Structure 1
Amino acid sequence: MSERLSAIEIRSAGAYASIQDGGRRGLRRVGVPWSGVLDPALMKIANALVGNQATAPVIEHFDGGLLLKALHGCVRVAVAGQADIDITGEQGVQRVVCWRSVCLNSGETLRIRALRAGRLVVIAVAGLQVPETLGSASTYARAGIGKPLAVGDRLSAQLTEASDFLLPEPPSDDDSIIRVVAGPQAGHFLDDALATLCGAPFTVTDQADRMGVRLQGPRLEHRSEAHKDIISDATVPGSMQVPGSGQPIVLLADAQTAGGYPKIATVISADLGRLANRRAGETLRFQMVDVDAAERAARSHAENLAQLIASIRRLPGDGSVDLEALYNSGLISGPISGFESEE
């Protein structure tokens, strides 16, 4: 181990943890999915908290149970998402909050005990060094590009100074509205199908992974048996396929690059990360917008995220800030959503 490098070891991988980054772009035309984090906003916030580039590799983790141990020196880590976290070291077990960075000294462990909301969190490690394949460090396990993290895996990182940073007003997501634009095969469905899609709640099922999420709600009727399938054509993350069951499937980062189910709609990029982070049993509603509104929402989303990241502040080193009190009652009006669009 060099003097400038440290390392973290996976002591427990929990339900599922993998290395992801901004994705493997430019190769869908030859059948390679984007992959990358399901919620890019969480990646960018976590990386900003530890001083990384916005799309640097991170650990994406589902459902809690991840346990990391620092092996050498001081390693700065940050967790973006809603989770219960503790650090164990010479001082015993200390509870810490999300949306901030902490320095793990040699031998200390950080545990994601449970998620409070959503189905995933993102953990950034300052200077995390991961080899790339086809221009990205993202894991795409179905094709053997990388593999999920497992007990005993060691990841190199930079030694860092013991300075911690905080996002003062964490984003919240209590908005159940997911915006969509009409899909390329919207005409394969009855005239009232889009109204049905946007007129009733849909429930996230437990059939959800990095490839896609199945929803349960009112049946979206095809025009005929012949309209239930198409000659396979291109898909993108956000595509909403509807098989013969009439129940929609929203494709996510690891989704195939082509498919044979008609696509009634596409979730806009500004809302796709929010949908991907929904737990089984949660309900959501869809709202139809046009392409111009989707583009405005994307710009607004990016601007709001940039403002959030610009608000990150260095914490004093004397432990004088009670972060739990700050997040629970210290904000004037409580946490606000940084992802609301101008629509």
Structure 2
Amino acid sequence: MKDFEILTPGPFTIIQDSGRYGYQKFGVPVSGVMDSFSHKASNLLLGNSEDEAVLEFTMLGPKIKFQSQCAVAITGGDSSPKVNGEPVPLWESVELNPGDELSFGIMNIGCRGYISFSGGIDVPEVMGSRSTYIKGKIGGIEGRQLKAGDTIKYKESKSVYSRKEIPEKYIPLYGNHYELRVVLGPQDDCFTSKGVSTFLSEKYTVTNECDRMGIRLEGQSIEHIAGGDIISDGIVPGSIQVPGHGKPIIMMADCQTTGGYTKIATVISSDLQFLAQARPGDTLSFREITVDEGQKILKENMEIMETIKKEIIMSKDSNSKSFKVTINSKIFNIEVFEV
């Protein structure tokens, strides 16, 4: 049986994939991973579909015992992963054997980590997604965060294991300050020119009130023309609400589908991966760009992901062949090189 056991879950570990689309009109959030780049990269390292479900953990990862042979890839913040007490690299594929234990230290840099498994996590889809939405108790395992004793199955991998790594030039750099690119609106006309200038020139600090639903910021108040309330309208991840008190709130993956506070701007989707790695005490600043510029950045990032995929595939020696051999019920991955 292809599965692994959660020995300790860490403070907040859940199953997520690319998200649950098409149900916002019914009040169901998209959910999905907070850091889409780390998610896709971890799956590419194992030859999985980019959208396969992974484990997303916050600040401290789970301790996992493997019941069968499996390859994993760990991406995101600096989580100090170890196998049987020995350090293993981030942003690379790692092969594990039955009885091996994967563990983590407290994250040094960044906020969230991702663990992908060869073949992908095998839990039922709910509304076309395996993502966990805790407030609605749907997806993942019983719509909740993982707990000790959970046994999770993963699917049979379609590819034979060979070590892969993300080229260093593509690995994101995390720190304590992030400049986020934003498109102003849709209610930027509800703010004074001074308020908009304050928003674009000041630094804001991530507070302890930050989770998968939203991130509250502390800093200079943003001035409205006539208050922060509007008739409720649509919200997307990246929307920046500013209530009457003038302190911004950035909506994230599990955000509600509508809201009644003025929205001064929206963080472009390409920068949400960095926002996902911001932790309490980190600072943020905002830079205005146009819709056309945001779309160009998105296209460039999509092209980068395709380039990474090609480089990972081409990194395998063209003169080698891979075989999967079973001896005494144990599976061995063998590569034969032409010399």
Does the alignment reach a TM-score above 0.5?
A: yes
User: Which residue is 1:52 aligned to?
Assistant: 48
Contact 1:166 1:314 in 2 (8 A): no
Aligned to 2:145: 148
CA drift of 1:283 comes to 1.0
Check the 8 A contact 1:182/1:266 in 2, yes or no: yes
Q: C-alpha root-mean-square deviation of aligned residues, in Å? A: 1.7
Looking at structure 2, the residues matched to 104 and 287 of structure 1 have their Cα atoms a distance apart, in angstroms, of 44
* Partner amino acid, structure 2, of 1:182: L
1:213 paired residue among 209, 212, 215: 215
Structure 1 Cα separation of the partners of residues 48 and 131 of structure 2: 16
Secondary structure of the 2:79 match is strand
Alignment of 1:55-94 (within 5 A): 55-72=51-68, 74-81=69-76, 82-88=78-84, 93-94=85-86
Asked if 1:291 is matched to 2:287, the reply is no
Equivalent position of 1:196 in the other structure: 198
Conserved? CA contact 2:15–2:53, under 8 Å: yes
Distance of 2:187 and 2:109 partners within structure 1:
34
* Aligned-partner SS, 2:108: strand
Q: Distance in 1 between matches of 2:107 and 2:269?
A: 24
Q: TM-score, normalised by structure 2?
A: 0.86
By how many angstroms is 1:305 displaced? Answer: 2.7
1:157 & 1:32 partners in 2: Cα distance?
26
Q: Which of 103, 106, 112 pairs up with 1:120? A: 112
Question: What is residue 100 of structure 2 aligned with on the other side?
Answer: 108
Structure 2 Cα separation of the partners of residues 181 and 162 of structure 1: 42
* SS of residue matched to 2:81: strand
Counterpart residue number, 2:281: 281
What residue in structure 2 maps to residue 329 of structure 1?
none
* 2-structure distance, mates of 1:261, 1:271: 22
CA deviations on 1:278-335 (whole Å, 9 max, x unpaired) are 111111210011111111111112222332333334599xxxxxxxxxxxxxxxxxxx
Structure 1: how far apart are the matches of 2:118 and 2:27?
32
1:264 aligns with 2:261: no
Alignment partner of 1:24 out of 20, 33, 48: 20
Structure 1 residue identity aligned to 2:125: E
8 Å Cα contact 1:35-1:139 kept in structure 2: yes
1:297 partner amino acid: I
State the shift of 1:260 in Å. Answer: 0.9
The Cα shift of 1:162 comes to 5.1
The 3 A distance-change label for structure 1 pair 292 and 159 is closer
Compare 165-174 and 54-63 and name the one that shifted more.
165-174
The CA deviation string for residues 246-298 of structure 1, in whole angstroms up to 9 with x for no partner, is 11000001000001111011101111121121111111210011111111111
CA contact (8 A) 2:18 2:52 kept: yes
Offset of residue 21 of structure 1: 0.4
Partner of 2:189: 187
Secondary structure of 1:231's counterpart equals strand
Q: TM-score, normalised by structure 1?
A: 0.85
How many pairs are equivalent? Answer: 305
Equivalent pair of 2:214/2:249 in contact (CA under 8 Å): yes
Q: Percent identity, aligned pairs only?
A: 39
Whole-angstrom CA distance in 2 between matches of 1:107 and 1:163 = 20
Q: Matches of 1:150 and 1:97 in 2, distance apart? A: 25
Secondary structure of residue in 1 paired with 2:107: strand
1:133 matched to which residue of 2?
126
Q: CA deviation at 1:13?
A: 0.9
Please tell me the residue identity of whatever aligns with 2:300. Answer: S
User: Could you tell me whether the CA contact under 8 Å between 1:219 and 1:246 is conserved in 2?
Assistant: yes
Structure 1 spans left out of the alignment, 5+ residues: 317-343
- Residue number in structure 2 paired with 1:172: 173
List alignment gaps of at least 5 residues for structure 2. 321-339
Distance 2:275 2:284 in 1: 8
Shift of 1:222: 1.2
Question: Is the CA contact (8 Å cut-off) linking 2:109 and 2:174 kept in structure 1?
Answer: no
Contact 1:48–1:54 at 8 Å: present in 2 too?
A: yes
Q: In structure 1, what residue type is equivalent to 2:21?
A: R
